[in-house]
A = this chain, B = another copy of it.
Amino acid sequence: MPPFTVTILGSSSALPTLTRFPTSQVVNLNERLYLIDCGEGTQVQLRRFGIKAGKINHIFISHLHGDHIFGLPGLISTMALGGKKGELHIYSHSELRMMMEQLMKFINEFDDFKVVYHPLNFRTRAVIFEDSKLVIESFPLKHRIPCCGFLFREKKRELHLRGDLMEYLKIPIKERVAIKNGADYLHSDGNIIPNADLTFPPDPVRSYAFCTDTVPRKQIIPIISKVDLLYHEATFCDNLRDLALKTYHTTSKQAAELAAEAEVKKLIIGHFSSRYKSVSPLVDEARSVFPDTFPANDGERFDV
């Protein structure tokens, strides 16, 4: 199967610390890179973890709080200095564009690539990106300002051909393409050979859901149901549940409860309040509800 990974670039909440930058992640599906959120210092983290900024062509912004966007101008400036070509697509609230166009005045002119803005809809689930391998959807979260999560889902894969039968029956190449996509085969002797006899099942499709800056939200459960990997914010421990609610955040226990109810395979928690010098209490609390919980740490890479 092609690699499908998530690298954590920043795992703190609004206040960065010496070991945790503000929110940013890179999703890598088969060497195509997708950036989620872009807190201050994202370009430095990319460099630190050996990821080429210029290879990123799509950036997804969950919401317009500073700790999720203040790395954008520097990143784009560095892309321009690095000679990036083509288009950079940014998916975000429509207001980002105005801010960025103000800021672009302070970056050296660049002509070789173009920034294309795609406004997100924060009221309903929607497909926002699609290519031959991947579908990305946004879905509403609930924070102090419009905010959404992102669901990365591989597309249904082709069936695997049974090579022995292809040879034996001398099936032509163009027929094989149809069989990979599910067609039966009409043999020259008039018999129809069912697809199931000619193929093995496709690799399973993998999925990653990213949910940050939100109150715990039952409505997302059908959307994130059974994903291979769920990132959910867990800003506070559950003894600060009132503060979490007041600031529209989630506690570690609440994140784990969502993961359990959605029957996801693995949970990453992050967006930790800087009050936690160690995140062990947050991890322990989540694991007591959902054992397959792991903390986001800057530089760490998770397989989806």
The distance from the CB of A24 to the nearest CB of chain B, in whole angstroms, is 13
Cβ contacts A53-88/B at 8 Å (1 or 0 each): 000000000001111011101100110011000000
Looking at the complex, which one of B40, B41, B69, B73 makes contact with A66 (CB distance below 8 Å)? B73
Q: A84-134: which residues lie under 8 A (CB-CB) from chain B?
A: 95, 98-99, 102-103, 105-108
Task: Evaluate contact between A43 and B40: CB separation under 8 angstroms.
Answer: yes
A44: CB under 8 A from chain B?
yes
A174: CB under 8 A from chain B?
no
The distance from the CB of A74 to the nearest CB of chain B, in whole angstroms, is 4
The distance from the CB of A146 to the nearest CB of chain B, in whole angstroms, is 12
Interface size on A, residues (CB 8 A): 35
Task: Evaluate contact between B81 and A14: CB separation under 8 angstroms.
Answer: yes
Task: Evaluate contact between A47 and B67: CB separation under 8 angstroms.
Answer: no
A240: CB under 8 A from chain B?
no
A-B CB proximity, top 10 nearest:
A40-B74, A102-B102, A70-B74, A66-B77, A66-B106, A41-B41, A66-B107, A64-B106, A99-B102, A70-B73
Q: Which residues of A contact B (CB under 8 A)?
A: 14-18, 21-22, 40-41, 43-44, 47-48, 64-67, 69-71, 73-74, 77-78, 81-82, 95, 98-99, 102-103, 105-108
